[in-house]
Homo-oligomer: A and B are copies of this chain.
Amino acid sequence: MAMEVTRLKVNFKTLEEFKKFKEYGMQELSMLEDLQDNMIEDDYESPFYGIYYGDKLVARMSLYKRDAKYDLYFDPPQDYLELWKLEVLPEYRRKNYGKTLVEFAKQFGLPIKTNPRLNSHEFWRKMGFQPVTYDMERDLGENPLVWYPEGVGEQKSSSKS
């Protein structure tokens, strides 16, 4: 089965589909308000990518490029991707939708940082992600996992520098 990753357009239909996902929060509410107030146009490009099964959105993630100047995770410091809200609707799990999205993110060739749910660490390990050395000032309550492309390593003692 061919799975195609699509960059999601922000419109009322997409935002309605987002409500089926567990991690519907302030980001989505803010997009909805902006649409309602005509602050953004219909079909505005969002940071969300997804996979449709027929016309139904069954998996999604948010992906955002952070500038090297904010990089506290990688050595050498560089532009990297933050990945969040990776989620597959319950009936569509164990069919590689999540894997397809993560592989899509890796294609950009940039290091990736995510802060996944605790019970998903086994999935992330299989995807080649690994924990960083915990640093309270930087990580607070997060459990950051990262993926290093070739030639990239862990930034040490970031918050102390």
| Chain A residues within CB distance 8 Å of chain B | 22-27, 29-30, 47, 62, 64, 82, 84-85, 115, 118, 131, 133-134, 136-137, 139-144
Q: Do B64 and A27 touch (CB < 8 A)?
A: no
Residue of chain B at shortest CB distance from A135: B30
Chain B positions within 8 Å of A47 at CB level: 136
CA distance A88 to B7 in the complex (A): 40
- Asked whether A26 and B144 contact (CB < 8 A) given A47-B136, A136-B64, the answer is yes
Residue of B nearest to A145 (CB): B26
Q: Are B141 and A115 in contact (CB under 8 A)?
A: yes
Q: How far is the CB of A90 from chain B (nearest CB, A)?
A: 17
Check A140 against B29 for contact (C-beta < 8 Å): no
**Chain B min CB distance to A9 (Å):** 16
Question: What is the CA–CA distance of A26 and B98 in the complex, to the nearest angstrom?
Answer: 23
Q: Is the CB of B82 within 8 A of A140?
A: yes
